[in-house]
Amino acid sequence: MSEETKRLVLIGAGALLGSVSTIAVIKLLSRQQVRSGNKSFASVSNISTNDKYFSVANDGTFSGPGNRNFTKSDESNILKDEIVSEQLTRNIQFFGMESQQKVSESFVVVIGLGGVGSHAACMLLRSGVRKLRLVDFDQVSLSSLNRHAVATRDDVGISKAMCLQNHFSSIFPECEVDARVQLYDSSSEEEILSGHPDYILDCIDNIDTKVALLAACVRRGLKVLSATGAGARADPTRIRIADIKESTIDPLSRAVRYRLKKDYGIETGIPVVFSLEKPKVKLLPFKGTTGEDEKPSDYQIVPGFRVRIIPVLGTIPAIFGQVMASYVLTQLAGFFVQTEPVVTLDPDHYRVIYQRLIEHEELVYGSAEQVLVDVDEVMYIVKELWQGRSARDLYLDVVGQKMWRSVNEMVLVRWDQAKPASVSNLILLKFKEAEEHEMTSIDIIKEKEPELFNKVTTVLKRAEVDFGL
């Protein structure tokens, strides 16, 4: 192809792309003009009628600035909308249409709309969640602008719930935003948790309220993800998602865990986002109007709520919120993600496990020539594939520091004795289990223990995918 021909082809392609973009823009602008003529201001319980924002009307229709009116009958068709499908193109490409449809039909409640909750809610919205209930009794303050997802100086003094609703209307107006200027407590539980939400995001920083919400979610059988302390920290690489009993470093989580066990008998089953990092700074001393240190409880407007200030690097609450949104979105979409286990294993431990593998191979097979892994791959196998647990631990309930103490009593062995000791053929077993495993075969296991066989096969297939085998 000559240079002149190439130039003409590029010009033609550019013109075609420009035409398509222009048509899309014209359609979007015309739609916004239609929407602007359909603004309605609906009254909502617990929200002032003088507010300049909007929410859900009594007939179940959601409306507001820039919004079209939607009813329940529209839910299944949202991705057929040309503008919506284009806006969510990257999500559709990532999840697939069927899984994105699940996201777009979901209903999520976010309670606590500060640095963590505002970012979580914002990404849920941008990812196409069709209905959001946003709950917070507080207002936007000037000092909260360092960590809030969308608030500006013009929003200072406005309720956090209504602030988000206002901004959300111009980002994804198809979302049904139910803003509640409310304090969560036992009297508002039924109202806030009603409607069969698919997920609850607990972004509350008050212990009493957090404990009450989590206990209510467990009692009602609602899926909930809880955020622990994001303040006073600076290392984003140490943020994790794990069961609440794993969050041993975080002071807020420790207090919540204690109260849940003491008051409700709840010890596990609640996923939390937390940081392995110890707080870098402390609560600032509370000074009254005289400038002298005073008793914080004397100045509480709402009993039990913190009045002392936690220094916050705004990036960390934002990342907490993004992590929560990512977790919930993949859960809603049915998109499997293996979260990284909470581990503090020294590299020397992996070398010990590797050496133990070599010795086992020499003892059982006469040499270590069939060992096709190195220390780095042993780290992957132990940490990523088996999470420091025996392959026979079907319920995976030995976690945290206990998990790593148990590693000292484990060894890597071949799953299929006829194949080499490769990354896709090594399982982690306790010493006694390893001895028994060497005396059987995978055919016998498949026949007598199909659940174990299927589990191990699934895990090892993941290794094949990860390593391109």
pLDDT for 283 equals 64
Cα(393)–Cα(404) distance, integer angstroms: 14
CB 200 within 8 A of CB 109: yes
**Two tokens, residue 170:** 């111009």
In sequence order, which residues have a C-beta less than 8 Å from that of residue 108 and are 6 or more positions away? 124, 129, 131, 132, 133, 197, 198, 199, 200, 201, 328, 332
Q: Which residue(s) pair with 107 in the sheet?
A: 131
Cα(204)–Cα(136) distance, integer angstroms: 9
pLDDT in tens, 53-92: 334 444 443 444 344 444 444 555 689 999 999 999 999 9
Predicted TM-score (pTM) of the model is 0.64
pLDDT for 31 equals 52
Q: Which residue(s) pair with 273 in the sheet?
A: 227, 241
Residue by residue, DSSP assigns 259-310 as HIIIII---S--EEEEESSPPSS-PPPPB-TTSSB--GGGG-SSTT---SPP
pLDDT for 289 equals 55
- Centre a 10 Å sphere on the Cβ of residue 180 and count the other Cβ atoms it contains: 26
Share the mean pLDDT of the chain.
Answer: 80
Q: How far is CA 240 from CA 13, 209, 228, in A?
A: 46, 23, 11
Q: Which residues in the chain show pLDDT less than 50?
A: 20, 22, 25-26, 30, 33-73, 296-302, 304-308, 395-405
With CA atoms as reference, report the closest residue to 148 among 180, 171, 116. Answer: 116
pLDDT for 341 equals 67
**Two tokens, residue 339:** 């979260």
In sequence order, which residues have a C-beta less than 8 Å from that of residue 277 and are 6 or more positions away? 233, 234, 235, 238, 249
Cα(138)–Cα(392) distance, integer angstroms: 49
**Two tokens, residue 310:** 């936690």
pLDDT in tens, 290-333: 555 555 444 444 454 444 467 888 999 999 999 999 999 999 99
SS3 (DSSP) at 463: helix
